[in-house]
Chains A and B, each alone.
Chain A
Amino acid sequence: MTGRELRDRILPHLVIWPPILISCAYVLVFSAWTVWVSFTRSTLMPEYSWAGWRNYTTMLATRNWQIAYSNLFIYGICFVVFTMAMGLLLAVLIDQRIRGENVYRTIFLYPLAVSFVVTGTVWGWLLNPTIGIQKLMHDWGWTSFRFEWLIDRDKAIYTIVIAGVWQASGFAMALLLAGLRSVDADLLKAAQIDGAGPLRTYFRVIFPTIGPIFVAVLVMLLQFAIKTYDLVVALTAGGPGLASTLPTVVVYDFMFQRGELAKGSAAAVMLLGSLAFVLVPYGLYRYWKRRQGGAHA
């Protein structure tokens, strides 16, 4: 074997393996450590005396966690559904070969480039009844206009949905648009020849073909939703009261504000569990798809 051959053979491994090992170590070691800490009596500092499931039961019993989790449910579902719907609508509209497509695509994708803190702050101003949209409407003479979701404890969580959807729709659009464009032209022609109108073509031909892309977008949005933190902090600060808090906020609050490392870790582990709730079925789905594909081939 010449030196060159040897290098060609070793180099890819050298390039690939160290980063993989480092990131695995990083993710696994720290996750394992967090799990461990969640079973200890740690408060200000990590210490390793066994506490059993106590931290989990206390966390589950706190109002903060209960509110946060039911909020995550509302937010997760609304965010994913509305973002997908908006993204799909935008993608289909842009798919009509309109003029200035690139400009629109950039505009819609742009919010994704904006930090959540900025999004949160700006929407916080817009939605605040005394300085935002409501005040504008009142100043214009429409004095019966009411939009007070931000300060309504039952609706505050939906303002986070609004800001989140605004931010992520462009992302869903970009992926779905790529999907729409990837559909085989022959299929579309066949549909045209069969006399299918545009609406029918979309619903019966195009959407079913790009099913896997929907699933991918869904999974990505779901894990976006579970990870949401900065948006809440900037938009509502978890309020009014605790009404719009999310699990991530609770984790940070317990770990770093209250100096309850073990309880915060328990919350973090439960959050990791909910991520697994999304990712494991997705992994199984992929596996099943592959098996199916293999069987057909």
Chain B
Amino acid sequence: MKSIRVGRRAVLGSAVASLTLPRELRAQGTVKPRVTVISQWSSGSSGAAMAALGKTFEAQGGVWEHNPVPGFTTDMMNKLRAQIIAGDPPAVSQLKGPEIAAWSKIAPVVDLDAQVKAAGYEAVVPVELAKLSKPAGHWVALPIQAYRINTLFVSKKAADAISMTKLPTTWAEFNAVAEKMKAAGITPIANGGIKWDDGMKWEIALCGISLEAYRKALMELDAKALNGPEVLAAFKQFRKFGEWSDPGVAAQDYTTFVSRFMKGEMGMLLMGDWAAGIYKRGGFQLSDYMVGPAPADDGKIAFDLNSDEFMFWQKPQKEFQEGQKLLASIVMSKELGPLFCQITGSIPIRTDTDLSAPGFNDQQRKASHAMAEAAKSGRMVLSLAHNMAQTNQITAAMIDVLTEFVHDNRISAEEGQKRLANAVDNVR
């Protein structure tokens, strides 16, 4: 009896030893770079892009551990919060917009300045993104992909039904097209009716009415701009979107309407350009729809930016520090665009990325070109509904007002504007 017990213990002991030994050896000798990553990208094209990134990381000698938390970015944040409280943050986490600044204050982050400088990275990144990535003057996060929010998709069949050949370029033209579609028995707007969708439609309206007002009202929360005529006009345009939507739109995601859109029963979708990825996965071709920038009344280029970033958290272990360096170098390299964005359909961050490869499509090329132009000419703004312009608290309070407004015809545009300004005052 006793001898067996000793035997068991010996076996256990040697098993433990064999488990811990390689790690000790690693710590003493050459360190194998390792990263633990959390993101919301578990499946679909985003999941595939993360897997491809992991493969590249491993090919360069690293150990890649990706723990996705499916759902919204906020769901991922809950895991991040738990890990930070437990004192064990991931080496790298997805994070975006002003949340980078907010979160960088609650746990130590890695200073990436030296590496960014060595790579000459700052010169090829839109200045808006650089600002977000270095909240206290130091790079702590790196952008990985961008999307244009103010994008208009038009169903080819619906366009044919009203013999429309080119996209509307101003809201007046857009409204005329919508009326025509309505008269032809087509539901003009193919958007959904959930909170972020509502916030985004309004933001696209304002972006096209006046980029300057957008910047002042939404990014700087300037009271005068919030109470100004442009914001009021955006509410009026927003009301039209609501009236042109499917009556059963409340609580529906825009993806529910993809088949009706493609059949020509619905006309136009105002959505970030990831919708193209959804269409592609649904088996539709670029010939099934028209796509381009959403209307802009001044006729100039405008780019409403949404972008995902990786945030780097301080870890004492050498293996993680090496892993972070390796991952940062991959993310900043020119290869990231073809690697990541070809899969997700997004826009590469580096404005000097070569998009002539067949893996990119025309729409990506045009959007990427627009991003570079907008970045150069200062015509870029940050998305409100996608948490790029403000932190979650402020965004959520504003979107509450917007979503109530669009689903309730009894609220006048003036009243909506007043409520929005109040909501901002209450959380400011």
Query: Which A positions have Cβ atoms within 8 angstroms of B?
Result: 43-46, 58, 61-64, 124, 128-131, 148, 150-151, 153, 156, 235-237, 239-243, 253, 256-260
A236 contacts B396, C-beta separation under 8 Å: no
From B194, B246, B248, B396, contact of A253 by CB (8 A): B396
B403 contacts A239, C-beta separation under 8 Å: yes
Residues of A within 8 A of B112 (CB): none
User: Can you show 16 pairs from A to B with CB atoms below 8 A apart?
Assistant: A44-B102, A45-B85, A124-B251, A129-B248, A131-B248, A151-B250, A236-B250, A237-B194, A239-B407, A241-B405, A253-B396, A256-B74, A257-B74, A258-B392, A259-B102, A260-B393
Given A239-B194, A240-B193, A259-B392, residue A130 in contact with residue B407 (CB < 8 A): no
Q: Is B406 at the interface (CB under 8 A from chain A)?
A: yes
- State A240–B72 Cα separation when bound (angstroms): 20
Residues of A within 8 A of B403 (CB): 239, 241-242
Residues of B within 8 A of A44 (CB): 81, 102-103, 106
Q: In the complex, given contacts A61-B426, A63-B400, A239-B403, what are 12 additional A-B residue pairs having Cβ atoms less than 8 angstroms apart? A: A44-B102, A45-B106, A124-B251, A151-B249, A239-B251, A240-B250, A241-B250, A241-B404, A241-B405, A242-B400, A253-B396, A259-B391
Q: Is B408 at the interface (CB under 8 A from chain A)?
A: yes
- State A124–B250 Cα separation when bound (angstroms): 10
Residue with the highest number of chain B CB atoms closer than 10 Å, among A43, A58, A148:
A43
A150 contacts B250, C-beta separation under 8 Å: yes
Q: Is B316 at the interface (CB under 8 A from chain A)?
A: no
Residues of B within 8 A of A241 (CB): 250, 403-408
For A151, the closest partner residue in chain B by CB is: B250
Given A45-B85, A259-B392, residue A148 in contact with residue B247 (CB < 8 A): yes
Residues of A within 8 A of B396 (CB): 253, 257-258
Q: Is B77 at the interface (CB under 8 A from chain A)?
A: yes
From B75, B84, B408, contact of A45 by CB (8 A): B84
Q: Is B78 at the interface (CB under 8 A from chain A)?
A: yes
Given A44-B81, A44-B106, residue A240 in contact with residue B248 (CB < 8 A): no
9 A-B pairs closest in CB distance: A240-B407, A241-B404, A130-B248, A240-B250, A241-B407, A237-B251, A128-B248, A258-B392, A258-B396
Measured between C-beta atoms, what is the minimum distance from B197 to chain A in Å?
11
Residues B53-81 near A (CB distance < 8 A): 72, 74-75, 77-78, 81
For B, the interface residue count at a CB cutoff of 8 angstroms equals 33
- State A5–B194 Cα separation when bound (angstroms): 65
Residues of B within 8 A of A260 (CB): 393
Measured between C-beta atoms, what is the minimum distance from B124 to chain A in Å?
31
Measured between C-beta atoms, what is the minimum distance from A221 to chain B in Å?
25
Measured between C-beta atoms, what is the minimum distance from A64 to chain B in Å?
6
Measured between C-beta atoms, what is the minimum distance from B101 to chain A in Å?
11
For B402, the closest partner residue in chain A by CB is: A241
Report B387-428 CB contacts with A as 1/0, cut-off 8 Å.
000011100100010011111100000000000000000100
Report B74-97 CB contacts with A as 1/0, cut-off 8 Å.
110110010011000000000000
Measured between C-beta atoms, what is the minimum distance from B376 to chain A in Å?
34
For A234, the closest partner residue in chain B by CB is: B251
Residues of B within 8 A of A153 (CB): 407-408
B404 contacts A242, C-beta separation under 8 Å: yes
Residues of B within 8 A of A156 (CB): 250
A151 contacts B248, C-beta separation under 8 Å: yes
For B85, the closest partner residue in chain A by CB is: A45
- State A241–B248 Cα separation when bound (angstroms): 13
Measured between C-beta atoms, what is the minimum distance from B371 to chain A in Å?
29
Residues of A within 8 A of B75 (CB): 256
A239 contacts B250, C-beta separation under 8 Å: yes
Measured between C-beta atoms, what is the minimum distance from B263 to chain A in Å?
14
Measured between C-beta atoms, what is the minimum distance from A52 to chain B in Å?
18
Given A256-B74, A259-B77, residue A243 in contact with residue B400 (CB < 8 A): no
- State A239–B408 Cα separation when bound (angstroms): 11
Residues of B within 8 A of A236 (CB): 250-251
From B78, B246, B251, B404, contact of A235 by CB (8 A): B251
Residues of A within 8 A of B250 (CB): 150-151, 156, 236, 239-241
Residues B154-172 near A (CB distance < 8 A): none
- State A235–B392 Cα separation when bound (angstroms): 24
Residues of A within 8 A of B404 (CB): 63, 241-243
A130 contacts B246, C-beta separation under 8 Å: yes
From B247, B249, B393, B405, contact of A259 by CB (8 A): B393
- State A293–B405 Cα separation when bound (angstroms): 57
B391 contacts A240, C-beta separation under 8 Å: no
- State A103–B102 Cα separation when bound (angstroms): 57
Measured between C-beta atoms, what is the minimum distance from A155 to chain B in Å?
12
Measured between C-beta atoms, what is the minimum distance from A273 to chain B in Å?
23
- State A257–B106 Cα separation when bound (angstroms): 17
Residues of A within 8 A of B194 (CB): 237, 239
B408 contacts A240, C-beta separation under 8 Å: yes
From A62, A150, A235, contact of B248 by CB (8 A): A150
Residues of B within 8 A of A124 (CB): 251
- State A238–B405 Cα separation when bound (angstroms): 14
For B423, the closest partner residue in chain A by CB is: A63
Residues of B within 8 A of A259 (CB): 74, 77, 102, 391-393
